[in-house]
Structure 1
């Protein structure tokens, strides 16, 4: 099986950021969360809070969304073109996405692509992380809950933060835009 990070790997951009911008255009009132979001980002950079805590604060804007499922489907209607062509050309039914983005956000596009998904478990109504953010070593833990690490043929990511998971692949690749290089 081949395993992929999602954002900036098979998707042009960051889906969580794009979803936020999508919702901000529809509801400019979400700007009321900026103060807390900026403070959380700064606190994370200073090492005062974890990435999971920072993202939970960022995702609090989910409280102000209505018709979550419809919004997510509308988002993917407008953003499915961001799935990279090189990925679509090699996609296989046993592919696995392991992403720090919320599972509920990526679920519709992964279902459409008929691929497996492991993402961050986030409450879509409150933004609360129900498990540790699926990042770094956590990706190895989460993947091994569902699959055998030894079954990973190829791994693709845009970031060396995924090195803990890449170490288990028979081959690993670093993706920058549409360029793919050996890890």
Structure 2
């Protein structure tokens, strides 16, 4: 039996939405990419009310398909984001390390973005939405119950000592945790679970 502590990422540790933040960073660094991005956004505008978030996310990253230097762009992106992490987290994770066998970062954000940062933040395990080399989702979007499914793939037997999130969409994980914490929009930690979802959280 492994003792684990689990964190969501966007708006729990990181103040913003990872995918959107990377998009804006990418446009600034590669201005001509705006034409490919607009093409993707036009497709998304037709799908937004008709299909799942997974289908939209399969289109979202088309603009980086042919970028041979994407790893460097992702590295540069994270180097520019230090000021957007909530201060509470860095002291909290120091205490977490004393309590748990494994610290787990679990997120609906793309694996190819988070796998460049999770170890630096102090996590042992990353569970996130998996993408193939064409930037299409493998399996399901890592959200809601799917987060529990993915966690169960990694750990056969575990006790979740604490879980941190900003969103009610993570209720399946809150239900498994002994200690429950929610992070408000100001980056303040509170005991319990969030009171409501945001707009994106309501979309499956």
- TM-score (ref. length: structure 2): 0.81
Aligned-partner Cα distance in 1 for 2:138–2:161: 30
Alignment correspondent of 1:90: 92
Cα offset for 1:39? 4.1
Contact 1:4 1:97 in 2 (8 A): yes
Q: Is 1:17 aligned to 2:20, yes or no?
A: yes
Contact 1:30 1:64 in 2 (8 A): no
Kindly name which structure, 1 or 2, has the bigger radius of gyration based on alpha carbons. Answer: 2
The one of 95, 109, 126 equivalent to 1:101 is 109
Cα offset for 1:165? 1.5
Alignment correspondent of 1:40: 44
Q: Is 1:72 aligned to 2:74, yes or no?
A: yes
Q: Give the stretch that moved more between structures: 25-34 or 134-143.
A: 25-34
Alignment correspondent of 1:127: 135
Cα offset for 1:150? 4.4
Q: Flag the structure with higher helix content.
A: 1
Q: Show structure 1 runs of 5+ residues with no match.
A: none
**CA-atom RMSD in angstroms:** 1.8
Aligned-partner Cα distance in 2 for 1:171–1:114: 20
- TM-score (ref. length: structure 1): 0.89
Contact 1:100 1:134 in 2 (8 A): yes
The number of residues matched between the two structures is: 180
Q: Show structure 2 runs of 5+ residues with no match.
A: 194-204
Aligned-partner Cα distance in 2 for 1:112–1:24: 25
Contact 1:156 1:175 in 2 (8 A): yes
Q: Flag the structure with higher strand content.
A: 2
Q: Give the stretch that moved more between structures: 146-155 or 76-85.
A: 146-155
Contact 2:40 2:63 in 1 (8 A): no
